[in-house]
């Protein structure tokens, strides 16, 4: 299934995306108020049954898509999980363990929602990534069991303000958490429809220009590696999001850098997961 959270006719709901339509699961009798509650209850089978043979309630074009999972307990992001030495020429990026940081839910918007360029910085950058969503709780998860904890996958524009990432010597939190500076979506593709162990092709375009072009075979740490590592220090809960790192080709890697400007359109695509599209809009203050 492709599952989406959205606003429609003044109410927040969730449903199954089929073609250009959405079957609203709350209208069809779901007893769960949000998609996060469905994931926590392990009730995807129940949702599939509710949507079987049912006509769409809305056109996708008529709803406002939100991040697929609203207000998860944790949004964990992985830094430098592809070889990006050409973009970090002034830094030693060799590491035994992955770099990590948290993001707030308010720092990410949904598909086709504006990403905001704040007045505090002119260095807004894009980072096309695949995000995995946890469906089964676990602590110290063995690598060979890790993929069974994934409920589905989506896309992330892990947008950031590069200069604010350098305000502190050892942290990037500020530059990674400006309100509405990144995005998640367009929907959650459940694990029965996408195999996390297969090689996936990720591209990022800005105004139609190809900037990032890679496959998951080039990741330093696999999805299974990341789940096994993260679950050593924290219990992964249903609905938790792990954004798994971006490849070479970000705006900071060009000479001169290609920072995002108001009016730019960023499109991140993985054929199995769809296309996450956002326009950059100057924040009004």
Summarize pLDDT for 118-154 with one digit per residue, the tens.
999 999 999 999 999 999 999 999 999 999 999 999 9
Q: Which residues contact 195 (CB under 8 A, 6 or more apart)?
A: none
User: Model pTM?
Assistant: 0.94
The whole-number average pLDDT for the span 189-215 is 96
pLDDT at 20: 96
In this predicted structure, the answer to whether residue 239 has a pLDDT above a threshold of 60 is: yes
Task: Enumerate domains of the chain plus CATH numbers.
Answer: 2-65 (no CATH), 69-282 (3.90.850.10)
Confidence band for 171, pLDDT divided at 50, 70 and 90: confident
pLDDT at 191: 96
Strands 201-206 and 182-190: unpaired
Nearest to 197 by CA among 223, 220, 219: 223
Confidence band for 166, pLDDT divided at 50, 70 and 90: confident
Concatenated DSSP letters for the chain?
-EEEEEEETTEEEEEEEETTEEEETTTTT-S-SSHHHHHHHT-HHHHHHHHTT---SEEGGGSEEE-SS-S-S-EEEEE--S--GGG-TTS----SS-EEEE--GGGEE-TTSPEEE-TT-S-EE--EEEEEEE-S-BSS--GGGGGGGEEEEEEEE--EETTGGGSSSS--TGGG-STT-EEEEEEEEETTTS-TTS--EEEEEETTEEEEEEEGGG-SS-HHHHHHHHHHHS-B-TT-EEE----S--GGGSSS-----TT-EEEEEETTTEEEEEEEEEPP-
């Amino acid at each position: 299934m492709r599952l989406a959270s959205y606003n429609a006719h003044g109410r927040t709901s969730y449903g199954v995306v089929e073609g250009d339509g959405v079957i609203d699961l709350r209208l069809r009798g779901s007893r769960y108020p949000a998609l996060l509650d469905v994931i926590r209850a392990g009730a995807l089978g129940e949702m599939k049954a509710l949507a079987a043979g049912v006509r769409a309630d809305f056109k996708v074009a008529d709803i406002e898509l939100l991040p697929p999972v609203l207000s998860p307990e944790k949004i964990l992001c992985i830094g430098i999980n592809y070889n990006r030495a050409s973009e970090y020429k002034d830094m030693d990026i060799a590491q035994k363990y992955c770099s990590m940081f948290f993001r707030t839910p308010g720092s990410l918007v949904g598909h086709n929602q504006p990403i905001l360029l704040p007045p505090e910085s002119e260095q807004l950058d894009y980072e096309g990534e695949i995000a995995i969503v946890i469906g089964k709780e676990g602590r110290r998860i063995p690598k060979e069991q890790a993929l069974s904890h994934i409920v589905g996958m989506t896309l992330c524009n892990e947008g950031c303000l590069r200069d604010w990432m350098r305000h502190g010597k050892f942290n990037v939190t500020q530059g990674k958490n400006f309100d509405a500076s990144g995005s998640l979506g367009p929907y959650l593709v459940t694990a029965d429809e996408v195999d996390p162990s297969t090689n996936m092709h990720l591209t990022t375009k800005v105004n139609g220009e190809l900037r990032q072009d890679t496959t998951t075979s080039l990741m330093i740490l696999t999805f299974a590696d990341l789940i096994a590592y993260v679950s050593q220090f924290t219990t992964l809960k249903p609905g938790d999001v792990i954004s798994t790192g971006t490849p070479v080709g970000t705006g900071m890697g060009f000479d001169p850098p290609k920072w995002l400007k108001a009016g730019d359109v960023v499109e991140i695509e993985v054929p199995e997961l769809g296309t996450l599209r956002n326009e950059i809009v100057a924040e009004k203050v």
